[in-house]
């Protein structure tokens, strides 16, 4: 099941916020919270707030456990832009664009969380790609 949370009209440029959301996409919720807690950016604080809201929505509205949730998508859209004027030399003026953004986070429990133990168990049973020792050089040549 999918759960979402939207932070509208956040006073940060979407370009700056997208830098942080790219990092948390596809991560389990606990790892995403840890990453955001130690990211020294204003965007990290705002996205952390939105992520916590999405977790609360999952617990209270959808009766989901937070430890099984994964960040399916974290999207930052552009909101309205505040236009301000700054006085310049010789009586002219220039425009200052104060950008806002809409931060949308979607969590899901359908994506399986891969832990260290499951990766180790996979490695012991065999490789994921098939036979071991085979190579391919990109030109159609293969070998052992």
Could you tell me which residue, 122 or 11, shows the higher pLDDT? 11
Which domain CATH number covers 61? 3.90.470.10
In a domain, residue 140? The reply is no
Rounded-to-integer distance, Cα 5 and Cα 16, Å: 19
Is the pLDDT at 42 greater than 70, yes or no?
yes
Longest dimension (CA), the chain: 76
Q: What is the mean pLDDT of residues 54-71?
A: 93
Domain count, the chain: 1
The residue behind tokens 């020792």 is 133
In a domain, residue 97? The reply is yes
Is the pLDDT at 106 greater than 60, yes or no?
yes
Q: What is the mean pLDDT of residues 100-115?
A: 88
In a domain, residue 138? The reply is no
In a domain, residue 142? The reply is no
Q: Which domain holds residue 46?
A: 2-127
Is the pLDDT at 112 greater than 80, yes or no?
no
* Lowest mean per-residue pLDDT among 21-25, 60-64, 123-127: 123-127
pLDDT at 84: 97
């Amino acid at each position: 099941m999918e759960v979402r949370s939207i932070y509208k009209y956040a006073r940060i440029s979407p370009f700056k916020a997208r830098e942080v959301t790219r990092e948390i996409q596809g991560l389990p919720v606990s790892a995403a919270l840890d990453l955001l807690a130690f990211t020294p950016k204003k965007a990290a604080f705002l996205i952390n707030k939105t992520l916590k809201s999405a977790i609360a929505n999952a617990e209270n509205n959808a009766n989901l456990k937070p430890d099984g949730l994964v960040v399916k998508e974290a999207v930052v859209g552009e909101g309205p832009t505040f236009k301000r004027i700054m006085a310049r030399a010789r009586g002219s003026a220039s425009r200052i664009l104060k950008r806002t953004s809409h931060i949308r986070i979607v969590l899901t429990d359908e994506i399986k969380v891969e832990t260290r133990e499951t990766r180790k168990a996979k490695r012991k049973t065999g490789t994921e790609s098939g036979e071991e020792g085979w190579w391919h050089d990109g030109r159609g040549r293969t070998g052992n």
